[in-house]
Amino acid sequence: MTDLYQPTARTTATRYRDRMHYERDAAHAILDEAYDCTVAFVVDGEPRALPTLHVRVGETLYLHGSTGGRIGLTARADGVRACVSVTLLDGLVYARSQFHHSANYRSLVAHGMARPVTDAGEKSAAMTALVEKLGAGRAADSRPPTTRELATTAVLALPLTEVSVRARAGGVADEAEDLPLPHWAGVLPLQRVAGPPQPDAGVAPPPPAYLPRRTSPWTTAAPMRGQHVALEPLAPAHVDGLLSALADDEVWQFLPTPRPKTREEMAEQVALAGRQQWAGSHVSWAQCDPNTGEVMGRTSYHDVDEERGSLGIGHTILGRRWWRSGVNTEAKLLLLERAFEVLGAERVFWYTDIRNERSQRAIARLGASRDGVIRRHRLRQDGTWRDSVLFAMTADEWPAARERLRTRLEAA
């Protein structure tokens, strides 16, 4: 049997009764998905409505505020009567008639007496739960509040007893006589999508995995380790090492971007790689010495297409000191093993400048086939058009290529 909240006079629908629901699971899901809410209360006979952060713990909703803020000052020992609302907008509904334009949404309203949390243990636990909602593991990855900080923070507890959920889903509800009209009608889905993280000045670690985003193994820079190279997720901490290892114009000769000559220019390249990874098109690693940690270069997956099981390996830049060593061979082996054996890729491909014969020979030695030439594919640093040679390897070709690469590494 479904666990329900009991309707009250304040939570009983007077219109569109079919959209009103009282299931606890539906209410919990809305509160847990939303980060913010609006809390309404009365001060000196005047209405107030304030946005704030919230977290649900069981059947209690904790609201974050300041002891010096309006709601903190209003909530005395016995609490403050409050109404909390949360709305998640899922889509805009375009009808042929203006009257029937609407939205798909999930919303919640909760009424009750919000009491100030004065018990130190409950207050600390509520603050920890709020931080953990921002990312599982964040509480351990940040400094806890001091006694003074806790004293200036107001936490209100609202029991979830008088709760209602209102939701709409589905398509257009035009009248029958409007259906022949020539106007476009349909639903525009809406989603909340996290943008690329913007590290604060001086932050060296890569963005933590618990940051809210859509994740997939295809767009995750999982660390990999071999005897000759360790592939680490590319991060600001690698900037100085990359600047030193790649300080050679010949290394950049066939790349579309000029060599970064300052720390700021290299930092921007690393930041760009991070933005591309967040967008889901690239996955970047630093190539490091597995014994000393010294940065040797970088490499990446690019043009990641999870739906078609395809990705490219490229944007590989290796310091001149490590040319003709086992580093490049092992890095490619690690990347190919992940692509075919972990991700289940059907096809891996490479692009290289038609003038870069050394790169073409190296890719061919991996066991990839030369599939053709893409004319006027990219612009070179000097502004001329580059023809790119396309190499590819399929899942059927991978087992034989893997054995050849392992044999080459044993001899390295």
The two structure tokens encoding residue 384: 């001329």
Taking CA atoms, 10 is separated from 28, 83, 191, in Å, by 19, 10, 30
Question: Which residue, 189, 208, 225, sits at the end of a domain?
Answer: 189
Same domain, 365 and 269: yes
Q: Do residues 347 and 313 touch, judged by C-beta distance below 8 A?
A: no
Check if the beta carbon of residue 39 is closer than 8 Å to that of residue 52: yes
**Number of residues that make up the chain:** 412
Cβ proximity of 377 and 386 under 8 Å: yes
Nearest to 297 by CA among 317, 278, 312: 317
Whether 160 and 34 share a structural domain: yes
Q: Do 176 and 312 share a domain, yes or no?
A: no
Is residue 346 located within the same domain as residue 243?
Answer: yes
Q: Are residues 230 and 281 in the same domain?
A: yes
Q: What pLDDT shows up at residue 2? A: 66
SS3 at position 229: coil
Considering the domain architecture, whether residues 106 and 221 belong to the same structural domain is answered as no
User: Helix-strand-coil percent breakdown of the chain, rounded to 5?
Assistant: 30, 35, 35
Residue 325: give the domain boundaries. 217-411
CATH number at residue 371: 3.40.630.30
350 in a domain, yes or no? yes
- Looking at the structure, tell me whether residues 175 and 246 fall in a common domain: no
pLDDT at 345: 97
**What is the secondary structure of 336-381 as a DSSP string?**
HHIIIIIS--SEEEEEEETT-HHHHHHHHHTT-EEEEEEEEEEE-T
- Residue 198 forms part of a structural domain: no
228, 341: one domain: yes
Give dist(CA 75, CA 72) in Å, integer.
Answer: 5
Q: In this structure, are residues 231 and 334 in contact, taking their beta carbons and an 8 Å threshold?
A: yes
Consecutive H or E run containing 124: helix 120-133
- What is the phi/psi pair of residue 58, to 5°? 65, -125
* Residue 204 is assigned to a structural domain of this protein: no
Question: pLDDT means per 10 residues in the chain (412 residues)?
Answer: 84 85 93 95 90 96 82 72 95 96 96 93 94 93 92 92 94 95 94 82 83 81 93 92 95 89 93 85 94 95 95 94 92 97 97 93 92 94 92 96 91 76
Structure tokens at 360: 């073409």
* 200 within some domain: no
Same domain for 185 and 229, yes or no, is no
Tokens of 37: 């809410």
- Report if residue 293 sits inside a domain: yes
Q: How many domains does the chain have?
A: 2
Report pLDDT for 27. Answer: 95
> Is 23 within a domain?
yes
- Same domain membership, residue 184 and residue 333: no
Model pLDDT, residue 115: 92
Q: Among candidates 342, 348, 334, which has minimal Cα distance to 232?
A: 334
157 domain-assigned: yes
Q: Say which CATH number the domain at 81 has.
A: 2.30.110.10
Q: Both 149 and 269 in a single domain? A: no
- The predicted structure's pLDDT at residue 72: 65
Domain assignment present for residue 199? The answer is no
Same domain, 158 and 57: yes
pLDDT, residue 256, reads 84
